[in-house]
Amino acid sequence: MLVSQVIREKGGVVFTATPGESLAQAAALLHQRQVGAAVVLDAAGAVVGIISERDLVRQVALLGADALERPVSAAMTRQVIFAHPDESIDELLARMTDRRVRHLPVLNDGRLIGLVSIGDLVKRKIAETEAEARELKAYIAA
């Protein structure tokens, strides 16, 4: 299965933040939307980072509650690892495991079209494996 199929099934809604928003605002967004990360966009709509629950926890652990007043730009991951719609789930799972990330923004011709989490990919991989097992059982039984 390709990333484009995952995006088609789950939808291309991506929750975003701006570099100047506070970490408290970013935390509220993640909590309200029940997501683990938001893509950070500049004024032109270009991806400049990603802010995750992990980034927020790291800042609070280092600075205490005052960290929540800092801007997203102070805590976001700037070296964003991207996915392309034509990549396979297996390719992305390997990249996410190797790079120790849980969310990948999906770009098509430089335009943000979605975000996939490791949970999204594992869910599809399990469904794919179960379908293959059913097909093999049907083949053996025939």
Alpha-carbon distance of 63 to 39, in angstroms, equals: 23
Give the pTM: 0.87
Cα–Cα distance measured from residue 72 to residue 40, given in angstroms and rounded to the nearest whole number: 8
> What mean pLDDT, rounded, does the chain reach?
94
Q: Provide the pLDDT for residue 11.
A: 87
- Give the CATH number, domain containing residue 17: 3.10.580.10
Q: Is the pLDDT of residue 132 over 90?
A: no
pLDDT exceeds 90 at position 27: yes
Q: Which domain holds residue 23?
A: 3-141
The number of domains in the chain is 1
Which tens digit of pLDDT belongs to each residue from 67-81? 999 999 999 999 999
Model confidence pLDDT, tens digit, residues 30-67: 999 999 999 999 999 999 999 999 999 999 999 999 99
For the segment 128-135, the average pLDDT, to the nearest whole number, is 88
